[in-house]
Amino acid sequence: MGRMKKNKPRHKLRGLHDASQRRSTKTRAAQIAWTPLKQACGCVVDWGWSSQSADPMTFTDWYTSRLTSACPWHTDPVTGASGAALPNELTLQPHGTGVLLHARKAAADRHELGGELATRLAHVLETARRGKLALLDDAPAGFRSWLIANTDDPAQAWLDHELCEIVLNQGRSALPRELLEHLPEQLRTSSAEGPQPESAACNICSFSAAEGGIRCACGHDWSCHPGKAGQGEPCSHCPCTDMQHV
C-alpha cells in the first residue's frame, strides 16, 4: 500500500487562509477611488467607486446628489436599521442602477478636503442653474475660447470638466487656472491632434494632448489617474488600471 501524503496542520491552513483574505481585502481597497464630501448634516463621508462594479458617470451623478443630503448614518431608516446600527463602511446600490458604490466615515485628515469640495461643488451647481451663459462666464477666458472653438456645447463641456476635477480627481487640477486664463492664441483655435480617448469624460484630456501634456497610454490626462504613483493608478474614465506615460 502506497504512502499517504501528510496533511498540513489545521493552524497552518488557517494562517494561509487568513493571509489570503487580508491580501484580497487590501487589493479590493486599493481598487476603490474615494472622494470626500461634507454633507448637509455636517458629517464628511468618503464616497467611493471601482471600475469593476460602477462607472464614472453614475458615481458623479450620485456624489453630486449627496451635497444636500444627510450622511447614511444620519438618514432616517427605511429598512428598520438605524444609523447607529450601520457599520462605518457601507456598500450600496443606487435605486434603478446596476452599480455598486461605497461609503465610509471619512478620517479626520479628509475633513478639510471634503469641505472644500462641497463648497466648490455648490458653486458649480448654482452657476449651472443660472444657465449656459453663466457657466461660460465662470470659465477661464483662454480655456473658454478653446472650448468654443473645439466643442459642440462649450457650456456643457466646462460643466463636465469641473465635475470631473471635483468628483473624479478629488479637486486636483490638471493645469493651473492661470494657464487656462491666458491660453496661447495658437492653442485657442487649433483642434487637438492625435487620437482621442473614446471614453473621455472631460475636455482637459484633449486639451492636454493639444499642448503635448502628460498623457497615459489609455489616452487620458495624468490628472485622471487618482492613484499613488508607483502603486497602481486606476483611470477615472476607463478600465485602465495603471498610468503609463506616452
pLDDT, tens digit only, all 246 positions of the chain: 444 434 444 444 455 445 444 434 443 454 788 999 999 999 999 999 988 888 888 899 999 999 999 998 887 654 444 566 778 899 988 888 889 999 999 999 999 999 999 999 999 999 999 999 999 999 998 888 888 888 888 899 899 889 988 998 888 876 778 878 887 664 555 444 444 454 444 666 766 665 566 778 887 877 777 766 667 777 877 778 888 876
Measure Cα distances from 37 to 76, 103, 134 in Å: 19, 11, 25
pTM: 0.69
- What's the pLDDT score for residue 96? 82
CA-to-CA distance for 207 and 152, rounded, in angstroms? 15
Task: Centre a 10 Å sphere on the Cβ of residue 147 and count the other Cβ atoms it contains.
Answer: 22
Strands (E), the chain: 33-38, 44-49, 89-92, 101-105
CA-to-CA distance for 179 and 173, rounded, in angstroms? 11
195-198's contacts with Cβ under 8 Å and 24+ in sequence apart are: 195/219, 197/237, 197/238
Kindly tell me the sign of the dihedral angle through the C-alpha atoms of 151, 154, 160, 163.
positive
Percent share of the chain, pLDDT over 70: 69
